[in-house]
Amino acid sequence: MEPNFQALRKEFPVLARKTYLNSGSYCALANDVKAAFDAYMEDRLLVGANWDMWITKNESVRALTATLLHASPDEIAVTASVSAGLNAIASALDFKGTRNKVVISDFEFPTNAQIWHAQEPRGAHVVHVPRAPDGYIPLENFAKAIDDKTLIVAITHVCFRNGAKLDIPGIVRLARAHGALVLLDCYQAVGSLDIDVKSLDLDFAAGGMLKYLLGTAGIGFLYVRDSIIRSLLPTNSGWFAQANIGAMDITANRPAPSARRFEAGTPPVVNCYAAEAGLKFLLAVGTPAIEKRNQALTRRCMERLREIDWPSVTPEQDERRGATVAVPSRNSGGLSAELMKQDIVTSHRDDNVRASFHFYNDMDDVESFIAAMQKLRGSFGPR
Establish if 27 belongs to a structural domain: no
CATH value at residue 96:
3.40.640.10
3-state SS class at 259 = helix
How many C-beta atoms lie closer than 10 Å to residue 254's C-beta? 14
Establish if 28 belongs to a structural domain: no
> CB–CB of 39/362 below 8 Å?
no
Question: Of 9-23, 40-54, 172-186, 304-318, which gets the smallest average pLDDT?
Answer: 40-54
What percent of the chain clears pLDDT 90, i.e. is strictly above it?
A: 95
Q: Among 237, 263, 283, which residue terminates a domain?
A: 283
Higher pLDDT, 49 or 16: 16
**328 and 341 co-located in one domain:** yes
> CB–CB of 212/198 below 8 Å?
no
The Cα 27–Cα 181 span in angstroms is 31
Helices 269-285, 287-307: inter-axial angle, 10-degree rounding: 80
Mean pLDDT of 249-274: 95
Q: Which long-range contacts (CB under 8 A, 24 or more apart) does 330-333 make?
A: 330/380, 330/381, 330/382, 330/383, 331/379, 331/380, 332/380
What are the pLDDT digits (tens) for 114-166? 999 999 999 999 999 999 999 999 999 999 999 999 999 999 999 999 999 99
Establish if 26 belongs to a structural domain: no
State the pLDDT at residue 289: 98
Name every residue whose Cβ is closer than 8 Å to that of residue 176 and which is 6 or more positions away in sequence.
182, 201
Q: Residue 72 is part of which domain span? A: 33-283
**Whether pLDDT at 52 is above 90:** no
Question: Of 46-55, 105-114, 315-324, which gets the smallest average pLDDT?
Answer: 46-55
The Cα 178–Cα 380 span in angstroms is 46
What percent of the chain clears pLDDT 70, i.e. is strictly above it?
A: 100
Q: Among 253, 268, 283, which residue terminates a domain?
A: 283
Q: What are phi and psi of 171, to 5 degrees?
A: -65, -40
State the pLDDT at residue 1: 82
Establish if 221 belongs to a structural domain: yes
State the pLDDT at residue 54: 86
**68 and 99 co-located in one domain:** yes
**Whether pLDDT at 347 is above 90:** yes
> CB–CB of 73/176 below 8 Å?
no
**Whether pLDDT at 101 is above 90:** yes
> CB–CB of 181/204 below 8 Å?
yes
Q: Report the chain's mean pLDDT, rounded to a whole number.
A: 97
User: Which residues face 182 on adjacent strands?
Assistant: 153
User: Which residues face 324 on adjacent strands?
Assistant: 356
**254 and 371 co-located in one domain:** no
The Cα 201–Cα 68 span in angstroms is 16
Establish if 114 belongs to a structural domain: yes
Mean pLDDT of 96-106: 96
- How many angstroms separate the first and last alpha carbons of the chain? 45
Q: How confident is the model at residue 46 (pLDDT cuts 50, 70, 90)?
A: confident
Establish if 328 belongs to a structural domain: yes
3-state SS class at 214 = coil
Structurally, how many domains does the chain consist of?
Answer: 2
Q: Among 283, 300, 325, which residue terminates a domain?
A: 283
**297 and 179 co-located in one domain:** no
**194 and 160 co-located in one domain:** yes
**263 and 149 co-located in one domain:** yes
> CB–CB of 267/58 below 8 Å?
yes
Alpha helices in the chain (DSSP H): 5-9, 31-46, 51-69, 82-92, 111-117, 139-145, 168-177, 226-229, 269-285, 287-307, 332-341, 363-380
Establish if 352 belongs to a structural domain: yes
**Whether pLDDT at 13 is above 90:** yes
**365 and 264 co-located in one domain:** no
Q: How confident is the model at residue 313 (pLDDT cuts 50, 70, 90)?
A: very high
State the pLDDT at residue 21: 98
Establish if 383 belongs to a structural domain: no
**79 and 156 co-located in one domain:** yes
Note the residue count of the chain: 383
3-state SS class at 49 = coil
**Whether pLDDT at 383 is above 90:** no
Give which of 37, 30, 45 is closest to 274, Cα–Cα: 37
How many C-beta atoms lie closer than 10 Å to residue 51's C-beta? 11
pTM: 0.96
**103 and 148 co-located in one domain:** yes
> CB–CB of 115/83 below 8 Å?
yes
CATH value at residue 16:
3.90.1150.10
Four-point Cα dihedral 27, 31, 33, 34, nearest 10: 100
**77 and 106 co-located in one domain:** yes
How many C-beta atoms lie closer than 10 Å to residue 363's C-beta? 12
**14 and 131 co-located in one domain:** no
State the pLDDT at residue 51: 78
DSSP state of 261: G
DSSP state of 96: S
**Whether pLDDT at 53 is above 90:** no
DSSP state of 77: E
Q: How confident is the model at residue 49 (pLDDT cuts 50, 70, 90)?
A: confident
Question: Of 33-37, 242-246, 337-341, 374-378, which gets the smallest average pLDDT?
Answer: 242-246
Q: What are phi and psi of 230, to 5 degrees?
A: -70, -15
State the pLDDT at residue 87: 98
**Whether pLDDT at 316 is above 90:** yes
Name every residue whose Cβ is closer than 8 Å to that of residue 64 and which is 6 or more positions away in sequence.
276, 279, 280, 283
**166 and 66 co-located in one domain:** yes
